[in-house]
Structure 1
């Protein structure tokens, strides 16, 4: 197997056209390749500058999960820190987790940041939403978002080999009119639901707004977790 390491977008685009298979940290595909056979060409973005950005409002797809630190918002940092073991986080990439994994541990965090994705195909790089990235399994170059006022993340304890643990991600964003909006994303099993509602000093009013969305149909345990996290993020907003 020939591993391609593009340093420019034009090189990456050419390797894609030649049939190179995108690979992140290979934590998910290596066992499949050993079983089914290796492709003639694979491509890693680890040498591509655009895929290695880490900042308050940007994160590259080739960044390793253990490199996701306090340069990014809390919700994304905490999401990355809870993926797998330390050994996995030193190998797995942001892009591989969001596009290649069925768990998509970083997806709820990216959704509450209202992140936009930059992807690459045969026609070049362009920006799209996360729903399209997940559905069409695009080659992800990176994520961009507006820095939230506050954010939070909760991941329930899970059992090895069991169902994916419940995840509740939250973030509050300031609008151009000075008003705040709360974004909440929940991973329940393999499904991820995200909703938004205006913030209000009365947490019960905010929770009633969320109950009128798809979040209101979650199981009781998940709704209780959402309630706790929303109360916590509104307290953090009040003290900000």
Structure 2
């Protein structure tokens, strides 16, 4: 297998045109390749600057999970720290987790940040909705978001080899007019659902509104956590 390491967007487009298979840390595909055979040409974005940024409001697709620190919101940092073992986090990448994995451990955290995806397609670099990126799986370069006021994250324990553990993420945002918006995303099994509600009138009203969103059919354990996170994030709005 020949591995290409493009260092510019134009080189990356050339690699794609040549049929190079994008890989991140190869943590998800290595066993399949050993069984089914390796591709003739692969490509890693670890030398592409646009895919390696870690900073305020942005995170590159080639960033390995153990590089994610307090430069990004806690919800992303905690989600990354909960993935697999230390060895996995030293090789697994943001892009591989979001668009190459069925578990998508980072997706709830990215959704509550209302993140957008910067992707490379036939027409060049485009910014698209994150849900579209995870569904269509284009070549992800980075994700971008507007900084939240506060965030919360919880991942329940699970048995090895069993169903994916429940994940609940939340973020509080404010708009230009000072209005508050609570965004919540939950991974229940392999499905990720999200919803949002105004936070200006406190957590109880927000919870009532969230139950009318796609979150409505979640199990009670998820709603218990959502309630705890809503109360924590909206306490100032409730006057406590």
Q: TM-score range by the shorter chain?
A: over 0.9
CA contact (8 A) 1:7 1:49 kept: yes
Change (3 A) 1:206 1:213: same
For 2:62, the equivalent position in structure 1 comes to 62
**Displacement, 1:123?**
2.1
**Partners in 1 of 2:124 and 2:91 — Cα distance?**
27
CA contact (8 A) 2:203 2:235 kept: no
CA contact (8 A) 2:51 2:62 kept: yes
**Partners in 1 of 2:80 and 2:214 — Cα distance?**
26
**Displacement, 1:238?**
6.9
Question: How much is the aligned-residue C-alpha RMSD, in angstroms?
Answer: 1.5
Answer with 2-11 or 127-136: which moved more.
127-136
TM-score, normalised on structure 1?
0.97
Residue 170 in structure 1 maps to residue 167 in structure 2 = no
Deviations 1:174-205 (A, max 9, x none): 10111110100000000000111100343211
> Mind listing any 5+ residue stretches in structure 2 that lack a counterpart?
none
For 2:78, the equivalent position in structure 1 comes to 78
**Partners in 1 of 2:86 and 2:140 — Cα distance?**
23
For 2:94, the equivalent position in structure 1 comes to 94
CA contact (8 A) 1:155 1:168 kept: yes
Structure 2 counterpart SS, 1:215:
coil
Residue 184 in structure 1 maps to residue 184 in structure 2 = yes
Residue 209 in structure 1 maps to residue 209 in structure 2 = yes
Structure 2 counterpart SS, 1:214:
coil
TM-score, normalised on structure 2?
0.97
Aligned length: 240
